[in-house]
Amino acid sequence: MKTYINAIILGLFGAAAVTVSFMLQWSTWTMFLAWVSYYLFGKSIKTSIPVFVQIIFGILMGVGIMVSAKFFETIIGVAGFQLAVFLFIGSLAFLSKIEGLKSIPAWFIGLIIIFGVHPELEFVAIVSLLIPVIAGFTFAWLNDSSIQIVSKSFNN
């Protein structure tokens, strides 16, 4: 019985997330990538906040790659993009030594989001990427919390 209730909870939150995403014209896969990140990186607010921050830094790194690639292309041509990627991705070897910035996969999730959505390099477009990411973490937390509550009630 508990499995059926868990399935209903998961289905309801998944359907609600998709509905909200479609209604607000978000990138649904971005929201679900954040949802999965919540589960992959520890299933708690304490572990999710640093991961969320690193995803944001990954998005910002993607912006840095795109901006610097345009600059490098004026100097060395089409290899400017590869140089920008080399420099920024290479910097992760050093950045990942800093406490709170150690999750290279989280950085890459941010890069996947920015290069997958490929928004205009404008402030509002970049900041708007945070909305489905926040929603994904929130739906995952709500889903997980609901399942934990149900599990406790079945264990008592």
Phi, psi (rounded to 5 degrees) for 63: -60, -45
The number of distinct structural domains making up the chain is: 1
Q: Which domain holds residue 108?
A: 2-155
Q: Using CA atoms, how far apart are residues 47 and 65, in angstroms rounded to an integer?
A: 27
Amino acid at 54: Q
- Do the Cβ atoms of 56 and 103 come closer than 8 Å? no
Whole-prediction pTM: 0.90
pLDDT tens track, the chain, 156 positions: 788 998 999 999 999 999 999 999 999 999 999 999 999 998 888 889 999 999 999 999 999 999 999 999 999 999 999 999 999 999 999 999 999 899 999 999 999 999 999 999 999 999 999 999 999 999 999 999 999 888 887 765
